[in-house]
């Protein structure tokens, strides 16, 4: 918005919304409120009660800089540097996989089963954690003695560390850099009550068809599950039983068409009481099993 001087917040909101919707960004109202609120330090609920407030040219320039990036499909969570997951705050940074709302289904399914079991969990493992959302939210809600989180990407582990500090679970969180189960080779990290993982599970052929935000900006290593999407899952399942306590719970996020195949892989790996949990769109989203 070159040349736009001082204006009211309501004019700025209209202008931003127009720019975003003309670039095909939707829902433009929500994104407008989030970007403008972020720059002005206002909660979304406060924005409209202050609609007549004056906005300085400097504030406008910062907002429009972010809007330009967003119009180029740069993901909103990277722009804002934060996102919410399981009602907890998380820091986010370019290069690290962005938390998806569907992943809350995985976390909720684990919490429900642990609570139904009636026994406290002592050790949790989150493999390929990305920004740490799964392990850290389980640490907050289940209060284990130890959560081990691993990721192949050092940047991801650094963001996960920041998020463990932000959510005050750093004292119980052990962060490790490495691929799949490699970081656990040292041997002390075993006897887990719960093992969780949101692996890369998108079929390689489907990656070009993903939204531009994902395809162009998110780390491929966090998405690409090989030709059938199951390469990562298939690679680690055989090793999981040996690090799981008897009766321990395993939960993986999966793609919508992968339920029956992943269930079969769980059973083949000797896991019992295997179940598929669907998401709000009634699509297969999570597979759970137990070490018998
Ligand atoms: N659900 C994610 C997506 O389609 C994929 C996540 C993953 O591979 N873990 O963007």
Query: For residues 260 and 206, is the Cβ–Cβ distance under 8 A?
Result: no
What is the Å distance from ligand 1's center to 254 Cα?
8
Is residue 97 annotated as a catalytic residue, yes or no? Answer: yes
What local confidence, expressed as pLDDT, does residue 279 receive? 96
- Domain residue limits, the chain: 7-72, 85-291
- Mean pLDDT for 67-87 is 97
Residue 189 has pLDDT above 90, yes or no: no
User: pTM of the entire structure?
Assistant: 0.93
N residues, the chain: 292
Query: 85-291 falls under which CATH superfamily?
Result: Vaccinia Virus protein VP39 (3.40.50.150)
> How far is CA 278 from each of CA 74, 111, 113, rounded to the nearest angstrom?
30, 16, 15
Q: In what order do the strands lie in the sheet with 284-291?
A: 173-177, 146-151, 123-127, 192-197, 244-253, 284-291, 271-278
Largest CA distance in the chain: 68
What is the Å distance from ligand 1's center to 21 Cα?
25
What is the Å distance from ligand 1's center to 200 Cα?
7
Residues 6+ apart with CB under 8 A from 176: 148, 149, 150, 157, 183, 184, 189
Please name the residue whose Cα sits nearest to atom 10 of ligand 1. Answer: 214
What local confidence, expressed as pLDDT, does residue 232 receive? 98
Kindly report the CATH class assigned to 7-72: mainly alpha
Report residues whose beta carbon is within 6 angstroms of any ligand 1 atom: 100, 198-202, 214, 223, 253
User: What would the pLDDT profile of 209-261 be if each residue is shown by its tens digit?
Assistant: 999 999 999 999 999 999 999 999 999 999 998 999 999 999 999 999 999 99
- CA 158, CA 287: separation in Å to the nearest integer? 28
Test site for ligand 1: of 197, 202, 229, 257, most ligand atoms within 8 A of the Cβ: 202
Residue 3 has pLDDT above 60, yes or no: no
């Amino acid at each position: 918005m070159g040349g736009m001087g001082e204006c009211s917040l309501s004019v700025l909101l209209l202008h931003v919304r127009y720019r975003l919707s003309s670039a095909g960004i939707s829902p433009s109202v929500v994104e407008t409120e989030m970007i403008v609120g972020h720059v002005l330090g206002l909660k979304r609920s406060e924005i409209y009660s202050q609609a007549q407030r004056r906005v300085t040219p400097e504030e406008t320039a910062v907002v429009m800089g972010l809007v330009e990036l967003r119009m180029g499909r740069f993901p909103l969570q990277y722009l804002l540097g934060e996102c919410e997951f399981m009602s907890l705050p998380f820091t986010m940074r370019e290069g690290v996989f962005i938390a998806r709302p569907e992943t809350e289904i995985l976390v909720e399914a684990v919490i429900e089963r642990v609570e139904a079991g009636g026994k406290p969990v002592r050790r949790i493992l989150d493999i390929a954690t990305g920004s740490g959302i799964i392990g850290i939210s389980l640490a907050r809600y289940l209060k284990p003695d130890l959560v081990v989180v691993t990721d192949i990407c050092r940047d991801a582990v650094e963001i996960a560390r920041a998020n463990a500090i932000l959510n005050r679970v750093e004292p119980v969180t052990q962060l490790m850099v490495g691929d799949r189960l490699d970081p656990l080779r040292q041997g002390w990290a075993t006897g887990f009550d719960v093992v969780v993982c949101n692996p890369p599970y998108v079929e390689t052929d489907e990656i070009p068809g993903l939204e531009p935000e994902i395809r162009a900006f998110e780390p491929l290593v966090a998405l690409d599950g090989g030709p059938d999407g199951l390469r990562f899952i298939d690679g680690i399942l055989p090793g999981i039983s040996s690090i799981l306590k008897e009766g321990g719970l395993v939960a993986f996020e999966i793609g919508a068409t992968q339920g029956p195949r992943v269930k079969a892989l769980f059973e083949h790996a000797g896991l019992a009481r295997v179940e598929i949990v669907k998401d709000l769109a009634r699509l297969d989203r999570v597979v759970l099993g137990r070490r018998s």
